[in-house]
């Protein structure tokens, strides 16, 4: 295996055509250059330079090794530039996870701002449930995630730290022809006879919906388990039920449906920014911290209340 410093010496000797000039350029002594080139020629299996009355020039074997040396040194130089860009938060790959409704407007707006500010960063976006995103952060598969405590809380995960990003109101979505569609604020008790559309909670834990109904003095008459928002909206449009919808998803609600506030102020969820942390982690990437700041500090990225 050829030593990088010796390859750099080979290139410098070839470019200057002189052991003496190469020694000056690299702060070596001329005898040291001669010894290292002689050792390199032995390692290469034969002469690399033709010795001239004044200076040297590459021989056939030297020309072959010279080209490889130039390629190796350029790739190492590019690697150094790429690493510097990663450490400065200007380049590299940033793996970002988010739950589905955060991907309606909040996260895309922040990623657009990041791309404009740091166009050399390669962004890889991943969607998933908050619990899974937290675990992927802990496993080193993500660099930042936007997660929430809906529908039934957010468990802590070793190696992950979370900061509150915003509070997101939970609204009810109704068909436009629903008897309560014209109300500004709806008493949750007035929906006691409705069928509710909701994803299955993890581990059978109580959800925001069941807790709110209990506070209003009833249990949901019927719950249809539908995970995807498109399916929920389709069922609501068909008059088959109603659903809680976070305000982050307001832009995705079809025009034939309406969103209305409920009278329970506790019907809201907390959205967090999650980052790797702990003794087994190298800590957040600078690019992840830049995205965190774009999410946290720019009011234009927040949903309106």
Give, to the nearest 10 degrees, the angle between helix 19-26 and helix 30-44: 110
Four-point Cα dihedral 124, 129, 135, 138, nearest 10: 40
**Distance, first Cα to last Cα, the chain:** 64
Name the DSSP class of 91: S
Distance CA 224, CA 121 (A): 42
CATH of domain 4-88: 1.10.10.10
Q: Which of 12, 252, 270, 60 is nearest to 147 (CA)?
A: 270
* pLDDT given for residue 203 in this prediction: 60
User: Do 216 and 144 form a contact (C-beta atoms < 8 A)?
Assistant: no
The single residue listed with the structure tokens 């130089």 is 77
* Number of C-beta neighbours around residue 27 at 10 A: 7
CA atoms within 13 A on the CB side of 120: 12
Q: What token pair was written down for 294?
A: 């774009």
* Cα 74-77-79 angle, rounded to 5 deg: 110
Q: How far apart are CA 95 and CA 128, in angstroms?
A: 13
CA 37 to the chain's CA centroid = 48
Query: Do residues 270 and 170 touch, judged by C-beta distance below 8 A?
Result: no
CATH superfamily of 168-268: Periplasmic binding protein-like II (3.40.190.10)
- Mind listing the pLDDT tens digit of every residue in the chain (305 residues)? 788 999 999 999 999 999 999 999 999 999 999 999 999 999 999 999 999 988 999 999 999 999 999 999 999 887 887 787 777 777 789 999 999 999 988 999 999 999 999 999 999 999 999 999 999 999 999 999 999 998 778 888 999 999 999 999 999 999 999 999 999 999 999 999 999 999 877 666 778 898 999 999 999 999 999 988 899 999 999 999 999 999 998 888 999 999 999 999 889 999 999 999 866 667 799 999 999 999 987 554 444 43
Structure confidence at residue 279 (pLDDT)? 62
Domain 4-88 and domain 93-166+269-301 have a common topology: no
Beta carbons of 276 and 292 less than 8 angstroms apart: no
pLDDT of residue 303: 42
CA–CA separation, 19 and 55 (whole Å): 7
Residue among 216, 262, 209, 264 nearest 232 (CA): 209
Global confidence as pTM: 0.73
Residue ranges covered by each domain of the chain: 4-88, 93-166+269-301, 168-268
Q: What is the pLDDT of residue 205?
A: 72
Enter the DSSP assignment of 200: P
CATH of range 93-166+269-301; options 3.90.420.10, 3.40.190.10, 3.30.365.10, 3.40.120.10 = 3.40.190.10
């Amino acid at each position: 295996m050829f030593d990088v410093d010796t390859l750099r010496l080979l290139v410098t000797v070839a470019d200057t055509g002189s052991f003496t000039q190469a020694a000056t350029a690299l702060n070596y002594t001329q005898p040291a250059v001669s010894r290292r080139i002689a050792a390199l020629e032995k390692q290469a299996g034969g002469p690399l330079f033709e010795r001239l009355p004044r200076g040297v020039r590459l021989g056939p074997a030297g020309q072959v090794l010279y080209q490889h040396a130039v390629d190796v040194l350029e790739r190492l130089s590019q690697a150094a530039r790429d690493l510097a860009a990663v450490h400065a938060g200007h380049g590299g790959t940033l793996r970002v996870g988010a739950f589905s409704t955060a991907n309606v407007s909040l996260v895309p707006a922040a990623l657009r701002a990041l791309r404009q500010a740091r166009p050399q960063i390669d962004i890889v976006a991943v969607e998933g449930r908050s619990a899974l995103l937290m675990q992927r952060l802990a496993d080193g598969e993500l660099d930042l995630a936007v997660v929430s405590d809906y529908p039934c809380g957010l468990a802590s995960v070793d190696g992950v730290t979370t900061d509150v990003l915003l509070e997101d109101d939970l609204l009810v979505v109704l068909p436009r022809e629903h008897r309560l569609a014209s109300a500004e604020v709806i008493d949750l008790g007035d929906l006691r006879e409705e069928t509710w559309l909701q994803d299955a909670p993890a581990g059978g834990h109580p959800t925001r919906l069941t807790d709110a109904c209990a506070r209003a003095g009833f249990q949901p008459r019927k719950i249809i388990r539908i995970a995807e928002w498109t399916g929920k909206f389709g069922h609501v449009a068909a008059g088959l039920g109603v659903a809680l919808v976070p305000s982050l998803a307001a832009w995705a609600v079809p025009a034939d449906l309406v969103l209305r506030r409920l009278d329970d102020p506790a019907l809201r969820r907390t959205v967090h920014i999650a980052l790797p942390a702990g003794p087994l982690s190298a800590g957040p990437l600078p690019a992840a911290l830049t995205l965190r700041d774009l999410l946290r500090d720019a009011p234009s990225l927040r949903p309106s209340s």
